[in-house]
Amino acid sequence: MVLVAVLSTVVAIALLTTTQNSESLYFLGMAIAGFLGIVWQRMRQISTVSDTAVRQIQESEARLQLSLQAANMGIWNCNLITGEIKWTVETEQLFGMAPGTFDGKHETFLHFVHPDDREVLEQAVQTTIQKRQIYHYEYRIVWADGSIHWIECNGQAFYDANNQPVCITGTVMDISDRKRIEIALQRQTRQEQALNRVIQTIRNSLDLKTIFTTAAQEFTELLQMDGAAIIQDLPERKCSTVLAEYLQSPESVPALKLEISDEDNPIAERLKQGELLVIEDARTLTDPVNPKIAQAVSKVPCGWLILPLEVNGVVWGALAGHKSPPPLVLTEDEIDLARRVADQLAIAIQQANLYQQVQNLNQELEQRVQERTAALQESEEKFRQIAENINHVFCIEDTDGQILYTSPSYADIWGQPVDTLYQNANAWLDAVHPEDGDRVITEVSMLRERCAGEMEYRIIRPNGEIRWISDRSFPIRNPQGQIYRIAGLAEDITNRKAAEAALQISEQNLRTIFNNVSSMLFVHDVDGTLLDVNNRVLEHHRLDREQVLKLSIVDDYSAPDNPFHLLQDYWTRALAGETINFEWKTKKLVDGSLFDTDITLNRIIWNGKPVILASARDVSERKRAQVRLQRQAAANQLLATIAQTINQSIQLNEVLETCLEQIQQFLQCDRTLICRFDSDYNVLIELEAVSQTELSLLGQTIADPCFDQDWAERYRQGHITVCDDTQSADILPCYAEFLAQIQVRANLAVAILQADQIWGLLIVHQCHVPRQWQPYEINLLKQLGLQIGIASQKASLYRQLENQLTQKEVLLKEIHHRVKNNLQVISSMLWLQTEATNHPAVSTALEDTRHRLRAMSLIHETLYQQGDFGRISFHDYVRRLASSILAFCSIRQDQINLRFRLQPVVFNLETAMPCGLLLNELITNAIKHGFPNDRQGEICITLEQVLSPESTLSTLQGLPLSPKTPPPSGSQYILTIQDNGVGIPESLNLKKLKSLGLKIAYDLVLQLEGNLELERTNGTLFRLTFSALEYGQRF
């Protein structure tokens, strides 16, 4: 019972220490295993016990059972001899079995052990038996439902008298909760260690590349990500880029330097607001940017964790990780850990930036120190070189007047050795000009009292040369601010004095030039204030200088209609150094009259400061001359236009109407007239152009009481009437009354001459107001009168020529008609002769002659019918000739059919006559010999023009040849007469012809300078190739 009580106490202690370390549990298990072994041995040895002992044992076992249940422990025993294993109910429950279901087999036990732990467990048991050690091992078991549990097993082997192992007895306890806590603690420890490594890396390194690489790797491993990246925001480029990355999954894709656009990117917007983003599945993103990024960083679907990195209160970028497969689920601890990494990374970035700034500042400070040290050394060297090499005398003396240093230039300027000053500090005064001596001594005393000042004086060098000296003194103070040295600087200003005198003379000369130039000159301050003017301004406006300088150029001198909005631009450009030239309407102050000025603005230096010099010239006369020249040019252009119109047209009335309208519009007058005279010198208004219809005088006959033969003669001799105002005193009363009747206030009249005889008058009226006629207007009207006279004479000559041409045309028609009639008479006489003769050959010859006469007659008939006596439309002539030959030969239409393929062609008479006779011979020959015995067939006549290269070029240039256009020079023509008759024998030779018709045809070919070819395929084909004949003009 004591033993049972001890076991119960041990179990209770184990229950109270379940949360302690594994070492306590180990010793507890050993104690329980030892005592249980003793109990089991004793129970086997004792066969009988008393009832009291049995009850005590049962009570102890009950207490043991309660203790095991409370400690969640089980007991096991393995018989090493039989291999039988016994488990208590608690042990079965720990293995997920119902009570009493364990079959006691070792294989069943091993089936519950996790496959990865079986081999190690077997080895641990064997080691315990062999080395007689206390057995302790932790392993995993797999329940029937698949869940995994951790078991802690403790035991001890027992041996027989021969030291042979007989059994192993021990306990098992479920330690799954403790294992989970240990794993969590280990994971937390690893995370803390990784975070410490990140912090340590940040502390030990200020290199951002190293920090980024470490942070990405630790972040990936801590959160078991597939990869992680450091992303920097680039606001100026509206995107962000990947600076560093760490990838530990083969499914991750390198994305270093990948740029991610901020536009249409909601994730970027949320990050800039400082929001932590957990994207469980990147496939759910639908914006234009991030689905592409998801494909770029991972080959498989994944989730994202993105944390903003805030540096100095601004989102610098982001720490991002991705993990597959989705969804990405993170605990609060993991998210908190990620935040801590991101915070440390942000601190690292800030520290690195600060360090870089400090480094830059240190470099800048070091560079400044070096530069200032070098500058100081350089300054000292410059001072030494300047003091020894400048033309000025530099000296330093103490407050007692003792010379401490004098530069070598003293000897050059004073002409005395420097040592004389060291011996006598006032030796320089001996060289002062006598006229300046007293003044210099007085000023020197005052300068030594004040320790500062300047003066000018003259010295006389040993050679008698006089020089001007400018002497300045200034104090030198010690660090306590007390004056302990006096520095002096003496400068030879002889040349400057001479220059000042020359400058004064130059200024006087400049002032003289300034006041006497022809242009008006205004000197303005940069703000527009008038500083000075020259005498031309005073003379032009008749004011004195004080009055002028008080006025404003813009307000007082300018006309109100000037483009003032441009003036500021002109002024600004002039201040920038540009020379500005423009025209301005200016007002005379004396009478308020306006005149045109040409103004030039220049920036110059005046009395040492920049000013604007405005040069103004009165260009009113030039402007008026320009207007006159423009009007004269327009008048010349009008005259040229009217002359061209007259030359291009022969319709006199149309030309004159156009001229009058152009004159009226150009002169802007009320009325322009062309008038003629009857025998009584009454004015006949034949043509006019008026500004208002109520001013029209067209068609009227007006009696001018002052106009007679004498006035007509004066106009013929070149008189021009110029009247600026009909109400002036020098106008004859009768003429003034006449002009008033037709509403004329000013008029201008010139003669229109034809063949040195007066044809009419060209008159211009101003009806309502007087008008001063300008010289160019008078000259224009005079020239137009000459042009209209030429036009009227040209029209008269054209009418005469037209009459002559009409008469010649009638004559030519009559000639062609008479020739045609004469040929008809001859043909009729030959027909009578044919009827009278009984000789067949003579009849045939006469008949052929009649055919030829018919061909010639038809040409003359065509010429007088079409109206063109020099050219004939040969394609029409061919149709008429061929049809007339068939009719003349009494050929039925169903026997021989005519077909034509004719290009429109125009020939002169010299070409048409032989060509028509040749055509007559060939068609007649085909009818006579090609279709004997009323044989049926057809005759095809083809005429085509083959253009020369020059003619082809003319056609390509848009100058096609019309049917009425004469054939181009060098063009060739092909005339083909083809029949499908019996054909010409092979023995026939064109050069040895016996037939008169073919001989004539051959001679006509020679006359045409052409070529005649014969083909005997499917009948007969004659092909004539020729060019149009060209003869000289007949008239």
Quote the pLDDT of residue 820: 61
CATH number for the domain spanning 653: value is: 3.30.450.40
Q: How far is CA 546 from the centre of its chain?
A: 57
In-domain check, residue 797: no
Give the confidence band of 962 by pLDDT, cuts at 50, 70, 90.
very low
3-state DSSP call for residue 303? Answer: strand
Q: Distance between CA 283 and CA 499 in Å, rounded?
A: 89
Any domain includes 370:
no
Output the average pLDDT for the chain.
80
Question: Are 27 and 145 in the same domain?
Answer: yes
In this prediction, residue 567 has a pLDDT band, given cuts at 50, 70 and 90, of confident
Q: Which of 174-183, 549-558, 670-679, 855-864 has the lowest mean pLDDT?
A: 855-864
- Do 449 and 429 belong to one domain? yes
pLDDT at residue 7 greater than cutoff 70: no
> Which residue, 768, 742, 731, is CA-closest to 685?
742
For residue range 233-289, list pLDDT tens digits in order: 999 999 999 999 999 988 898 988 899 999 999 999 999 898 999 999 999 999 999
CATH of the domain at 465: 3.30.450.20
pLDDT exceeds cutoff 70 at 71: no
Rounded Cα distance, 920 and 898, in Å? 14
Are β-strands 757-766 and 701-702 bridged in parallel, bridged antiparallel, or unpaired? unpaired
**Can you give the pLDDT at residue 56?**
62
Let me know if residue 146 belongs to a domain: yes
- For residue 955, is pLDDT > 50? no
Choose the final residue of a domain: 618, 645, 661: 618
CA nearest to 136, candidates 157, 115, 118 = 157
Q: Match 């488990």 to its residue by tokens.
A: 87
**Rounded CA gap, 283 and 326, in Å?**
9
- Whole-number pLDDT of residue 952: 45
Contacts of 453 (CB under 8 A, 6+ apart): 443, 446, 447, 472, 473
**Integer Cα distance of 374 and 278 in angstroms:** 59
**Strand order, beta sheet including 466-477:** 403-406, 393-397, 483-492, 466-477, 453-460
Q: Which residue has the higher pLDDT, 626 or 488?
A: 488
Say if residue 964's pLDDT is above 70.
Answer: no
- Copy the structure tokens of residue 335: 């998210």
Q: Confidence band (pLDDT; 50, 70, 90) for 669?
A: very high
- Average pLDDT in the 1017-1024 region? 88
Q: Cis ω on the peptide bond leading into residue 327 (within 30° of 0)?
A: yes
Most confident of 351-355, 589-593, 611-615, 932-936: 611-615
Please determine, for residue 643, whether its predicted confidence score (pLDDT) is greater than 50: yes
pLDDT of 318 = 94
Query: What is the chain's Cα-based Rg?
Result: 68
Question: Does one domain contain both 699 and 728?
Answer: yes
CB atoms within 10 A of CB 552: 11
Looking at residue 4, its pLDDT comes to: 42
Query: In terms of domains, do 580 and 717 share one?
Result: no
Are both 471 and 597 inside the same structural domain? no
Residue closest to 459 by CA, chosen among 514, 414, 501, 510:
414
pLDDT over 70 (residue 706): yes
Cα–Cα dist 662/660, whole Å: 5
Q: What integer is the mean pLDDT of 106-121?
A: 89
915-926 exposure pattern, b = at least 16 Cβ within 10 A, e = fewer: bbbbbbbbbbbb
952/1003 same-domain check:
yes
Tell me the C-alpha distance between 743 and 738, whole Å.
Answer: 9
Residue positions counted in the chain: 1035
Helix 176-204 with 208-222: angle, nearest 10 deg: 170
Which pLDDT band holds residue 6 (cuts at 50, 70, 90)?
Answer: very low
CA gap 331, 337 in Å, rounded: 10
Q: Which two tokens stand for residue 286?
A: 């639908």
Task: Please state which of the ranges 65-74, 544-553, 871-880 shows the lowest mean pLDDT.
Answer: 65-74
Listed residue (786, 763, 774) closest to 664, CA to CA: 763
* Per-residue confidence (pLDDT) for residue 396, from 0 to 100: 87
Quick check: is 719 in a domain? yes
Residue 13 in tokens: 């202690």
Evaluate whether residue 86 is within a structural domain. yes
**Per mean pLDDT, which of 289-303, 709-723, 845-859, 880-894 is the most reliable?**
289-303
For residue 446, is it within any domain? yes
Whether the pLDDT of residue 98 is over 70: the answer is: yes
Are 492 and 552 found together in one domain? no
Tokens 């470490």 correspond to: 214
Structure tokens at 155: 């035991």
Give me 530's structure tokens: 């008038």
pLDDT for 808? 63
Using pLDDT thresholds of 50, 70 and 90, give the confidence band for residue 648.
Answer: low
- Separation of alpha carbons 426 and 418, rounded Å: 12
How confident is the model at residue 320, as a pLDDT?
A: 94
For residue 18, the model assigns a pLDDT of: 41
Give residue 1018's region: left, alpha or beta (phi > 0; psi -120 to 50).
Answer: left
pLDDT band at 639 (very low <50, low <70, confident <90, very high): confident
The model scores a pTM over 0.75: no
Q: Which two tokens stand for residue 43?
A: 């129970």
511 is a domain residue: no
Tell me if 158 sits within 8 A of 170, measured CB to CB: no
Q: What is the DSSP letter of 440?
A: H
Among the ranges given (251-255, 491-495, 725-729), the one the predictor scored with the smallest mean pLDDT: 725-729
Tens-digit pLDDT profile for residues 987-1015: 766 566 566 667 777 788 888 888 888 88
Instruction: Please say if the pLDDT value at position 228 is more than 90.
Output: yes
C-alpha–C-alpha distance, residues 246 and 227, integer Å: 6
Q: Looking at residues 981-992, what average pLDDT do you find?
A: 72
Alpha helix (H) residue ranges in 205-223: 208-222
How far apart (Å, rounded) are the C-alpha atoms in residues 662 and 643? 12
621 phi and psi, to 5 degrees?
-65, -40
Amino acid at residue number 604: I
In this structure, which amino acid lies at residue 720? I
pLDDT of residue 787: 80
Quick one: 675 and 722 in the same domain?
yes
Segment holding 811, helix H or strand E: helix 775-836
Helix axes 2-16 and 51-71, enclosed angle (nearest 10): 10
From the list 857, 790, 786, 859, the residue with the least C-alpha distance to 825 is 857
651 shares a domain with 594:
no
| pLDDT at residue 807 in the model | 62
- pLDDT per residue over 732-753, tens digit each? 887 888 888 888 999 899 988 8
Contact 1013, 991 (CB under 8 A): no
57-66, 220-229, 424-433, 497-506, range with the lowest pLDDT: 57-66
Which residues, in sequence order, are CB contacts of 923 under 8 Å at separation 6+? Answer: 881, 882, 885, 939, 941, 977
Residue 589 and residue 541 in contact, taking contact as beta carbons nearer than 8 Å:
yes
Res. 306: pLDDT tops 90: yes
447-454, Cβ contacts within 8 angstroms, sequence gap of 24 or more: 447/473, 448/401, 448/486, 451/399, 451/475, 451/483, 451/486
pLDDT in tens, 307-339: 999 988 899 999 999 999 999 988 888 888 888
Position 967 pLDDT exceeds 70: no
Same domain, yes or no, for 603 and 633? no
My answer on whether 140 and 255 are in the same domain is no
Residue given tokens 């086997």 in the structure block: 44
Task: Judge whether residue 537 has pLDDT over 70.
Answer: yes
Residue 764, pLDDT > 80, answer yes
Strand pairing class (393-397; 683-690) = unpaired
Q: Would you say residue 162 has pLDDT above 80?
A: yes
pLDDT at 817: 58
Residue found by looking up tokens 């130059």 in the block: 506
Q: Cβ distance 1002 to 990 under 8 Å?
A: yes
Better-predicted residue by pLDDT, 425 or 999: 425
- pLDDT for 516 beyond 60: yes
Q: For 496-506, what is each residue's pLDDT tens digit?
A: 888 888 878 87
Paired tokens of 324: 């597959």
Rounded-to-integer distance, Cα 459 and Cα 251, Å? 98
Average pLDDT score over residue span 547-562: 73
Query: Confidence class of residue 344 from pLDDT cuts 50, 70 and 90?
Result: confident
Same-domain pairing of 629 and 612: no
Indicate if the pLDDT at residue 916 is higher than 60.
Answer: yes
DSSP assignment letter at 432:
B
Angle (CA) 73 75 78, round 5°: 150
Q: Position 255: which residue type? A: A
Cα-based distances in Å from 430 to 164, 406, 414, 449, 459: 139, 17, 10, 21, 9
C-beta atoms surrounding 511 within 10 Å: 12
**CA pair distance 309, 265, nearest whole angstrom:** 18
Report the pLDDT value the prediction gives residue 993, as an integer from 0 to 100: 57
- List the structure tokens of 667: 């002169």
Token code pair at residue 532: 């000075």
Question: At residue 592, does pLDDT exceed 80?
Answer: no
Q: Dihedral sign, CA of 446, 449, 450, 455? A: positive
Higher pLDDT residue, 387 or 312? 312
What's the whole-number mean pLDDT along residues 161-169? Answer: 89
User: Rounded to whole angstroms, what are the CA distances from 269 to 19, 292, 571?
Assistant: 50, 17, 51
User: Is the CB of residue 717 less than 8 Å from the CB of residue 748?
Assistant: no
What CATH number has the domain bearing residue 902?
Answer: 3.30.565.10
Largest CA distance in the chain: 195
Residue 595 has what pLDDT? 79
Structure tokens at 829: 């006489």
- Look at residue 367 and tell me whether its pLDDT is greater than 70: yes
Supply the range of the domain harboring residue 6: 2-174
Identify whether 844 is part of a domain: no
The SS3 of residue 971 is coil
Q: Quick check: 248 and 227 in contact, CB under 8 A?
A: yes
pLDDT of residue 48: 46
Domain count, the chain: 6
